Structure 1
Amino acid sequence: MSRDIRRVPVDFDWPLNKVWDGFLLPDELRLPPCPACEGMGWSPEAKLLQNRWYGKAPFRPEDRGSEPLTVETPGVRAFAERNVAHATWFYGEGEAAIVREAHRLSSMWNQQWCHHLNQADVDALVAAGRLMDFTHTWSREDGWQPKDPPHVPTAAEVNAWSLSGLGHDSINQSVVVHAELERQGLSDLCPNCNGAGEVGTDEQRATYEAWEPTAPPTGEGWQLWESVSEGSPISPVFGDREALIGWLTTDYSWGAQRTPLTREQAEAFVGLGHSIGSGVIASDGRHFSGEAAVAELRGGTP
């Protein structure tokens, strides 16, 4: 995801901020989605468990051997206090506001499997190399190292942790759902498409696989493109390098680069031909847009 300098014809007139058609797979080449799984590739049993994980299907903590959360649960109480303190204009103030928010949180989280794992779920995550905060220590010198003696967290530890921050990601969900289905002797793949999510013919698949993106035409012009999407122009076409640099130092503002570049930054950026991603955080904590970072990195600052 960066910005790139492209050489295009001087009279190239593709609309700004519109993805170049050659970068997009034509609709007629898209493979028909599997009607059984709606193109997702999951079995009905897997989809049900995924929905229970996120609270989109009926779930009871007791079914996983977990105690329902209450307004007195420490993690619930702490989260409610934080929410109220940060937005009294919305939640109100005082104990009544905290209890009301704690009730909302506990009711919501009691409907989600992700906050009520049992030990088998936790063991599956540990076996998959997840939950590193529990099983490893980290240092700048040695990176992640297994705890000695080894530590396998309890379900209670992990469930409390899930209330305190970002919690589980979609990888954890996939690991736990797969392990649960495996214990039940079931598959997580759609039986109709075997997990492919599509039901195209061999001929359709061959045509799909053979497609390759087509770059815009080349020429003597200079133009700035973004590749955050599939790729689109974000500047006029300039007749020479100097004109593009002049535009970058006077009129340019895009993404993290909210003000025009300095002359030094623009020359370094155009000279390299692309930005350093969308942005760079230097070792001293300073933040540079991907365009400005080119000059900084060449100078050895970050």
Structure 2
Amino acid sequence: MGHVTVIKRVPLDFVYSLGVVWEGYINPYLPQRCPVCEGTGYNLETKEVNDSFYSWCNDITQDEMQALMVAGRPNHFDIKSDTTVDEINKWHQQEVKFSTDYDVIDRSILVKARAKRLCVYGICVSCNKGCTNGDSQKAKKWQKQGPPIGEGYQLWEFVDGEGSPFTPVFTNTKMVIDWYFEKWGIKIDIPLD
């Protein structure tokens, strides 16, 4: 669907957080991101290792490099069997500098290796790989429900079908348009009466 902007009719006293998807557009029966592990699927200790990844990824240890090699992952470094972890770290520190050449698969391997070495590795006991389980039957039957209809006017934006208000409620469309033009610095030289 992409991005669409529309003026919706809502009650004049309608209050809802701007930029937040309207709750009636969110299917509560679909799997949701786990609030405990924040979608990582890790226990809290392993999540801390994952969250700190960029502070240590250019200084990996021998066991972490070995985990990459066992997984067949270091092919983008052109690593040979006699390549040392010091050479890898030096390359990362000098060539990559403020970035990392590790992709998401490498990261998960390195996080798991480090967390195991620290004896903290584990998965989140509150979810299923980062998501709460949904109810597929109820999800299929669920229907969107828009905000209440009223006498006011409010600009809403929809991104891939999920809508959220992004202006205050106004008493007429001219006020909505004026607010929009002023916010984005658009000048018009024709009357909109």
Between structure 1 and structure 2, the one with the greater Rg is 1
Question: Normalized per residue, which structure has more helix?
Answer: 1
Higher RCO, Cα 8 Å, sep 6+: 2
Structure 1 length-normalised TM: 0.36
